[in-house]
Structure 1
Amino acid sequence: MTKARQALLARLTGSLPVHGSIVGVATDERTVVITYGDGPSPDGTPGVLDALADAGATATFFVLVGRARKHPELLERIVAGGHELALHGDDHVRLTDFSEEAAYRRTLAAKQELEQLSGQPIEWFRPPYGAQSIETWQAVKRAGLQTVLWTATAWDVKDVGEHERVAHAVRHCHQGSILLAHDGFAGPADGVDDGPEPEVDRGALAAELLSGFAREGLVGRSLGEALRAGKAVRRARFTE
């Protein structure tokens, strides 16, 4: 890392209330922020939406625009269910593979297209794999978006059992945490090859996760909804 970048990182980490990525919500309410990524997918999204509706929960869906083009009806279902749309990218390629200017252009274009497809304003962005540099973080900010990371994951990209997934998520989430889960699985059509998709019934897993949180007295909420009664917790997290 160059001295200039080190100096910029020092400035960012020295002013976390303004800079950095959202990693949680400081709130007095017993809520956990539920987020889904890598969709929409006809194989996973409908079951997830059904589980959320049954639990009276809401979530934020970080969508891939390439998939949204193919399944606009799923965007309509997400919005109609009272959930929140956010951007995960045009595809699932790491934003850190691009220069700051290229990252800015592709992120802005994806944001604008998602807004046109959905008729919804898009405020949040999650970088694929959570990978971001100082430059890509600045590019995302220039595009009018705020970066959102996570506190814990549902382990639904791992080849483990459902019980392990639920136990891991519930154990690592607390009031105001952000849970990373997936309603799809990124593959070659999304510009990446992360191997075969693990066997997981995403709707059933969503139901079990929400039941597990309910046993802890936690209700699932979208990020925007959670922030109505709380304040964003930010950290400067960068991956070279």
Structure 2
Amino acid sequence: MSGVPDPGNGRGDRRDRPQRNRKWAIPEAGGALAAARRRALALAGPLARPIGSLVAVRTQAPEVVLTFDDGPEPGGTDRVLSVLSDHAATATFFVLVDRARRHRSLVRDVLAGGHEIGLHGMDHQRLSRLPSAVVRTLLASATAELEDLLGTQIRWFRPPYGAQTPVVWRAARRQGLTSVLWGPCAWDWLDRPPELLAAQALRGLGPGAVLLAHDGHAGPEDGADDGPRPAFDRGDLVRRVLAGLDERGLRGRSLSDVLATGEARTVPWFLR
């Protein structure tokens, strides 16, 4: 097989292809009117802000945001952490709380490695299909349990499959969470050779891009139906991606690390 994974085959169709591939031009806000609007929104509180999700960071630094979903998972998270350590890279891990509860040592390892943790969900159910009351309850419970497990507040939330409605967005905001989606994607829920997945992941990567990858694989026990577990070594894939970043003069960093010198880029929920 040659080339990169075909997003039109297999589970690519169920993962909302437009969300993973479409590129959006984000207009720059400026002028007195925009400044006044920003001040008014800040005074109005978080629930009055535009319904949008972070998709990239405006930055001049040669840094890419590395994100990993669906963990923690033995045999995946630990291998990813080892490679990140070898390259002095940091990342943001969006975890499933049911898994974090079972694999607390891996959660501690993520934090000990200088990485950050965000919420992916109590499990991997598609929240956009659930009643609003259920969504609010699930996100409130998941946030509280994850923060209790970590001993600190969390900032970031990534809805499973990137599936988001105003109900999901507002439920996350009520918990003080910012919704985070992505730009380039590794398509690593597909069982393909790591070199092909790495080539796909590196497409379109530049300063401030948010890369979606995975340190685990959600299955029926997580409320997901994403097919067989891939057999490739996730550590090998991450090693290839980081080598590609090195060749481009880029560094892999967590979202908070990149935002330390940059500014969030967001799009309205209905564009994703």
User: Do both proteins adopt the same fold according to a TM-score greater than 0.5, normalized to the shorter chain?
Assistant: yes
Q: How does 1:37-116 map to 2 (within 5 A)?
A: 37-116=69-148
CA distance in 1, matches of 2:156, 2:132: 18
Give the equivalent residue in structure 2 for 1:4. none
Offset, 1:180: 0.4
Give the equivalent residue in structure 1 for 2:67. 35
CA contact (8 A) 2:54 2:181 kept: yes
Give the equivalent residue in structure 2 for 1:214. 246
Q: How does 1:9-20 map to 2 (within 5 A)?
A: 18-19=49-50, 20=52
Secondary structure, aligned partner of 1:152: coil
Offset, 1:232: 0.4
Task: List, as ranges, runs of 4+ consecutive aligned residues in structure 1 with deviation greater than 6 Å.
Answer: 13-17
Counterpart code for 1:140:
A
Secondary structure, aligned partner of 1:24: strand
**Matched residue count:** 228
Counterpart code for 2:77:
T
CA contact (8 A) 1:85 1:120 kept: no
CA distance in 2, matches of 1:172, 1:29: 16
Offset, 1:237: 2.9
Give the equivalent residue in structure 2 for 1:229. 261
Give the equivalent residue in structure 1 for 2:237. 205
**What 5-or-longer segments of structure 2 have no aligned partner?**
1-26, 39-48
CA contact (8 A) 1:63 1:87 kept: yes
CA distance in 2, matches of 1:46, 1:29: 28
Give the equivalent residue in structure 1 for 2:154. 122
Secondary structure, aligned partner of 2:61: coil
CA distance in 1, matches of 2:232, 2:121: 23
Offset, 1:239: 7.9
CA contact (8 A) 1:37 1:88 kept: yes
Secondary structure, aligned partner of 2:203: helix
Counterpart code for 1:31:
E
91-100 or 76-85: bigger deviation = 91-100
Q: How does 1:175-186 map to 2 (within 5 A)?
A: 175-186=207-218
**What 5-or-longer segments of structure 1 have no aligned partner?**
1-12
Offset, 1:105: 1.6
Offset, 1:99: 2.2
CA distance in 1, matches of 2:253, 2:202: 15
In structure 2, relative to structure 1, the CA distance for the partners of 1:237 and 1:200 (3 Å cut) is farther
CA contact (8 A) 1:104 1:143 kept: no
Offset, 1:100: 2.4
76-85 or 17-26: bigger deviation = 17-26
Counterpart code for 2:234:
R
Could you report, residue by residue, the CA deviation over 1:140-191 in whole angstroms, capped at 9, with x for unpaired residues?
Answer: 1112111000001112112322121111111221110000000000001101
CA distance in 2, matches of 1:202, 1:164: 13
Larger Rg: 2
Offset, 1:230: 0.3
Secondary structure, aligned partner of 1:238: helix
Give the equivalent residue in structure 2 for 1:162. 194
CA contact (8 A) 1:35 1:59 kept: yes
Task: From 128, 134, 147, give the equivalent of 2:166.
Answer: 134
Task: From 182, 191, 206, give the equivalent of 1:150.
Answer: 182
Counterpart code for 2:212:
L
CA distance in 2, matches of 1:238, 1:180: 20
58-67 or 187-196: bigger deviation = 187-196
Give the equivalent residue in structure 2 for 1:6. none
Give TM-score scaled by structure 1 length: 0.90
Give the equivalent residue in structure 1 for 2:225. 193
Counterpart code for 1:61:
F
Give the equivalent residue in structure 2 for 1:172. 204
